[in-house]
């Protein structure tokens, strides 16, 4: 029987404990697995025994990789210590020293830093362009370009990537494509099914969903994921069993959380767009049939007292993250986009008045009332 997303997300854990019938997967909090004898040890290297050393393989991290792959409709996945290390493993699975990648310019701040600062030490060059401009992407492609990289829904202005066009461009030029699907989650979008080669998640965000774990997953073709996994092992960016278990547990309610959070976000976006204290509300016109996601970005009027806004948020916390079940706000200019130059920020449109709202599962009316109060204090 084929399961719907809502059923799949709850039931796609591996059945490790057939003998004991434990209902949830136990935590294999062990750094290594013992062998009965030398034949048993050899059987690991022959691929007949699954586990030896937890940096290489562990039932909990394996479960998370496979589980997110299943939600994305991809054949394979590997979990790692963070979204950033998953992105790095994905990029290194297709590009090496001497290669070049083309990326969107409106990337998550940490990804921007990875690509502009860290990948240079691996000898990988990049060109950043606006992916809203198809010709600019084509013009940036060089003979040594190995990857087109973007985000399905961008941060913080929520530009929705045209994945069909991206896949088409990649195929036309024989270049791999990779999408960060963190903001949309597989509940809203499944880029692998649309032809993207690699899909990556900061599972710290919606996949985990409870702001209690830092983890990442990259999914895609088996050959690419095998390479990505070798990078995770070789660079030591593996995820711990407990963090994998926490992420996996959180993921079971992904469909319910995304449904509620997207519905709330739509109501918040609508209410705030009518508020005279706000210059602009950024919220996508369409992401998928299921909704438009749970992030709303606002730009306060340019004479607003931003400090007063942050001081008047009551139960809503200012936190440099997103996607938890609680509504939070983030201040891109001082957090996610802090490391960008003034000019880079200006190009993207980030200024002192831009605030990103991550809408939670609370009652929409309460969320709206609390934001209205903060805006009132900022006028
Ligand atoms: C948070 C985030 C990342 C980085 O993930 P970490 O888990 O913090 O390493 C990458 N991309 C997006 C879109 C994010 O929101």
| Residue 19 pLDDT level (bands cut at 50, 70, 90) | low
Count of alpha carbons within 13 Å of 6, Cβ hemisphere only? 5
Q: How far is the CA of 339 from the centre of ligand 1 (A)?
A: 15
User: In this predicted model, what pLDDT tens digit does every residue of 100-119 receive, in sequence order?
Assistant: 999 999 889 899 999 999 99
> Is 204 a pocket residue for ligand 1 (Cβ < 6 Å)?
yes
Pair 149, 91: CB distance under 8 Å: yes
> Is 243 a pocket residue for ligand 1 (Cβ < 6 Å)?
no
pLDDT over 90 (residue 20)? no
- Closest-CA residue, ligand 1 atom 5, reads 83
What would be the CATH architecture of the domain defined by 254-378?
A: Alpha-Beta Complex (3.90)
SS3 content of the chain, % helix, strand, coil (to 5): 40, 15, 40
User: In this predicted model, what pLDDT tens digit does every residue of 194-236 receive, in sequence order?
Assistant: 999 999 999 999 999 999 999 999 999 999 999 999 999 999 9
pLDDT over 80 (residue 297)? yes
> Is 283 a pocket residue for ligand 1 (Cβ < 6 Å)?
no
Sequence-distant (6+) residues with CB within 8 A of 186 are 5, 68, 71, 72, 73, 254
Nearest atom in ligand 1 to 155's CA = 13
Nearest atom in ligand 1 to 204's CA = 7
Q: Which fold has domain 5-251?
A: 3.40.640
Residue 15 has a pLDDT of 58
Residue 18 has a pLDDT of 59
Q: How far is the CA of 330 from the centre of ligand 1 (A)?
A: 14
User: In this predicted model, what pLDDT tens digit does every residue of 305-356 receive, in sequence order?
Assistant: 999 999 999 999 999 889 999 999 999 999 888 877 888 888 888 999 999 9
Q: Quickly list DSSP for 230-249.
A: HHHHHHT-PPPHHHHHHHHH
pLDDT over 80 (residue 13)? no
> What is residue 290's DSSP assignment?
T
Instruction: Return mean pLDDT, the chain.
Output: 94
Nearest atom in ligand 1 to 322's CA = 15
- Closest-CA residue, ligand 1 atom 2, reads 202
> Is 81 a pocket residue for ligand 1 (Cβ < 6 Å)?
no
> Is 110 a pocket residue for ligand 1 (Cβ < 6 Å)?
yes
User: In this predicted model, what pLDDT tens digit does every residue of 115-138 receive, in sequence order?
Assistant: 999 999 999 999 999 999 999 999
User: In this predicted model, what pLDDT tens digit does every residue of 267-278 receive, in sequence order?
Assistant: 999 999 999 999
Residue 200 has a pLDDT of 98
Q: Quickly list DSSP for 79-121.
A: EESSHHHHHHHHHHTT--TT-EEEEESS--HHHHHIIIIIGGG
Higher confidence at residue 180 or residue 20? 180
> How is the chain split into domains, by residue range?
5-251, 254-378
Q: How far is the CA of 108 from the centre of ligand 1 (A)?
A: 7
Residue 335 has a pLDDT of 87
Pair 77, 219: CB distance under 8 Å: yes
pLDDT over 60 (residue 299)? yes
> Is 155 a pocket residue for ligand 1 (Cβ < 6 Å)?
yes
In angstroms, the CA 185 to CA 220 distance is 15
Q: Quickly list DSSP for 178-218.
A: EEE-TTTHHHH--GGGGT-SEEEEETTTTTT-SSS---EEE
Residue 237 has a pLDDT of 98
| Residue 280 pLDDT level (bands cut at 50, 70, 90) | very high
- Say what the pTM is: 0.95
| Residue 17 pLDDT level (bands cut at 50, 70, 90) | low
Sign of CA dihedral 235, 91, 331, 263: negative
User: In this predicted model, what pLDDT tens digit does every residue of 22-81 receive, in sequence order?
Assistant: 888 899 999 999 999 999 999 999 999 999 999 999 999 999 999 999 999 999 999 999
């Amino acid at each position: 029987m084929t399961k719907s997303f809502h059923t799949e997300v709850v039931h796609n854990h591996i059945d490790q404990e057939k003998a004991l019938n434990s209902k949830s997967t136990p935590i294999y909090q062990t750094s290594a697995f013992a062998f009965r004898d030398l034949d048993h040890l050899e059987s690991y290297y022959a691929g007949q025994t699954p586990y030896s050393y937890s940096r290489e393989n562990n039932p909990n991290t394996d479960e998370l990789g496979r589980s997110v792959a299943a939600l994305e409709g991809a054949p394979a996945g590997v979990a790692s210590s963070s979204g950033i290390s998953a992105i790095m493993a994905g990029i290194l699975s297709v590009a090496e020293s001497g290669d070049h990648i083309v990326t969107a310019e409106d990337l998550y701040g940490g990804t921007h830093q990875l690509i502009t600062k860290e990948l240079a030490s691996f000898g990988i060059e990049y060109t950043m362009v606006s992916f809203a401009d198809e010709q600019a992407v084509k013009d940036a492609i060089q003979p040594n370009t190995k990857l087109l990289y973007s985000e399905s829904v961008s941060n913080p202005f929520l530009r929705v990537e045209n994945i069909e066009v991206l896949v088409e461009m990649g195929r036309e030029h024989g270049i791999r494509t990779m999408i960060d699907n963190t903001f949309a989650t597989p509940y809203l979008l499944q880029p692998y099914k649309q032809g993207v080669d690699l899909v990556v998640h900061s599972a710290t965000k919606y996949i985990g969903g409870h702001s209690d774990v830092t983890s990442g997953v990259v999914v895609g073709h088996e050959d690419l994921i095998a390479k990505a996994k070798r990078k995770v092992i070789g660079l030591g960016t593996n995820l711990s069993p407990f963090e994998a278990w926490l992420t996996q547990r959180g993921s079971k309610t992904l469909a319910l959380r995304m449904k509620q959070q997207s519905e709330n976000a739509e109501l918040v976006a609508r209410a705030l767009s009518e508020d005279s204290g706000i210059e602009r509300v950024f919220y996508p016109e369409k992401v998928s049939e299921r909704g438009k996601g749970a992030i709303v970005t606002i730009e306060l009027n340019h004479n607003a007292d931003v400090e007063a806004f942050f001081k008047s948020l009551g139960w809503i916390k200012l936190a440099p993250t997103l996607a938890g079940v609680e509504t939070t706000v983030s201040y891109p200019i001082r957090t996610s986009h802090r490391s960008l130059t003034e000019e880079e920020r200006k190009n993207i449109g980030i200024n002192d008045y831009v605030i990103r709202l991550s809408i939670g599962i609370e009652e929409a009316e309460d969320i709206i009332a609390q934001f209205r109060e903060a805006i009132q204090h900022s006028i």
